[in-house]
């Protein structure tokens, strides 16, 4: 089953309304591969979602960077899945390592406590149940990689989600090794391929062959215009989740890495 290339731009906590308008106009003017070969989703901070949604070219979509784990209510500072649905925001990024690490949505190898793992799993399940599509992030720290725990960590993070959902149609899994995020130290194509392929095998064994074959596993961590094509050429790399470079014109080149697949 062919998996459509997927490129997400995670703008994180960056930008002013002027800067946002500038990025949107670069994206709107960019010559990009057809929507038949690539899904493009950009994720501005919450406050800019309506602006971006209303001004972005129609074939590109928007994602929130987080949402609350259940129905909204007395949760100061949170944004509920229902609100995103209400504003017609189709996607949400959940379980990003910055939230896992800085805001305790974490499952460090030393702290595989169910409560934290299930927090991200519950968020994914709740968002899907409300009709959102989810970019679910997994990935190991440098310490975990160096101790040989990469697949254990990634499997545990994926399991926490798998135990809570039965339909993977609206899930994209983003493998983002923490050591590669914002460091300029990109995973080599072989390193990315190895984890993506292991993760696909995990899905095959623990979920189903269909889910393993059809779920897009995208790579994130220092993706740039310079390294995207080589990464995209890997058979199990189905796209990217891009941070820093998604705020720059080179994001258009990264979107066009999709042509590596479509011409393969
Ligand atoms: O965290 C990321 C995307 O979610 C990756 O960030 P960088 O591309 O800046 O390394």
Q: Is the CB of 15 under 6 A from ligand 1?
A: no
111 pLDDT tier (thresholds 50, 70, 90):
very low
Q: How many residues are listed for the chain in this entry?
A: 264
| Residue whose entry in the numeric block shows the structure tokens 């997927």 | 6
12 Cα nearest atom in ligand 1:
4
CA of 73 to the centre of ligand 1 (A): 31
Q: Taking 60 as the threshold, does the pLDDT of residue 47 lie above it?
A: yes
Q: 24 CB contacts (<8 Å, ≥6 apart)? A: 51, 52, 55, 56
- Would you state the pLDDT for residue 118? 53
pLDDT in tens, 75-108: 899 999 999 999 999 999 999 999 888 776 743 3
Provide the residue ranges of all domains of the chain, joining segments of one domain with +.
5-262
Please name the fold of domain 5-262. TIM Barrel (3.20.20)
DSSP output for 24-74 = HHHHHH-----TTTEEEEEE--GGGHHHHHHHS-TTEEEEES---SSS-SS
d(CA 206, CA 185): 31
């Amino acid at each position: 089953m062919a998996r459509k290339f997927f490129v997400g731009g995670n703008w994180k906590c960056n930008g002013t309304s002027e800067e946002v308008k500038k990025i949107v106009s670069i994206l709107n003017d960019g010559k990009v591969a057809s929507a038949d070969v690539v899904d493009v989703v950009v994720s501005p901070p919450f406050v800019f979602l309506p602006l971006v949604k209303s001004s972005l070219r129609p074939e590109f979509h928007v994602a929130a960077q987080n949402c609350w784990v259940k129905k909204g209510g007395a949760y100061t500072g949170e944004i509920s899945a229902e609100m995103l649905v209400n504003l017609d925001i189709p996607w949400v990024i959940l379980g990003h390592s910055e939230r896992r690490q800085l805001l305790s949505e974490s499952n460090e190898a030393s702290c595989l406590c169910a409560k934290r793992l299930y927090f991200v799993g519950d968020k994914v399940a709740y968002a899907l149940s409300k009709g959102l599509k989810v970019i679910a992030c997994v990935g190991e720290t440098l310490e975990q990689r160096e101790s040989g725990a990469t697949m254990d960590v990634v499997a545990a993070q994926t399991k926490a989600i798998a135990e809570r959902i039965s339909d993977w149609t609206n899930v994209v899994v983003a493998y983002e090794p923490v050591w590669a995020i914002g460091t300029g130290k990109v995973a080599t194509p072989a390193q990315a391929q190895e984890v993506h392929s292991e993760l696909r095998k995990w899905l095959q064994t623990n979920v189903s062959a269909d889910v393993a074959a059809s779920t897009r596993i995208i790579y994130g961590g220092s993706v740039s215009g310079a390294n995207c094509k080589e990464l995209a050429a890997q058979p199990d790399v189905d796209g990217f989740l891009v941070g820093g470079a998604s705020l720059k014109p080179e994001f258009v080149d990264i979107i066009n890495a999709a042509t590596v697949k479509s011409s393969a």
